[in-house]
Amino acid sequence: MEHPPLTSRHITPRACTHLRHKGMYVFAEPTLETEAYAEEIEATAFWCSCTQKAFGPDGHPVGARHCHADRSCCEH
């Protein structure tokens, strides 16, 4: 079975490829209701696929604002 790629409106192309959140595993078509809430959701819980925790291999927190090329553990 072929799975669609993991994508997210919360994670930009400049973010680390190991950054994850639950919304990436829900495959749903956008509707008018979901488009009304398209702004950033602060309550999104992120984790690193390397550590499986809310902090990366470098010991710092993970998130859409934190996981970018400036970190030593970031991969693109």
Query: pLDDT tens digits for the chain (76 residues)?
Result: 565 666 666 677 788 999 998 877 776 666 655 555 555 556 678 999 999 999 999 999 999 889 998 899 998 8
Domain membership flag for residue 74: yes
**Domain boundaries, position 3:** 1-29+44-76
pTM for the model stands at 0.67
Domain membership flag for residue 34: no
Cα dihedral 57/58/64/65 (nearest 10): 180
Coil, helix or strand at residue 33? helix
DSSP code, position 32: H
Q: CA-CA distance, 40 to 22, in Å (whole number)? A: 15
> Hey, which residues does 20 pair with through a beta bridge?
47
User: What total number of domains does the chain contain?
Assistant: 1
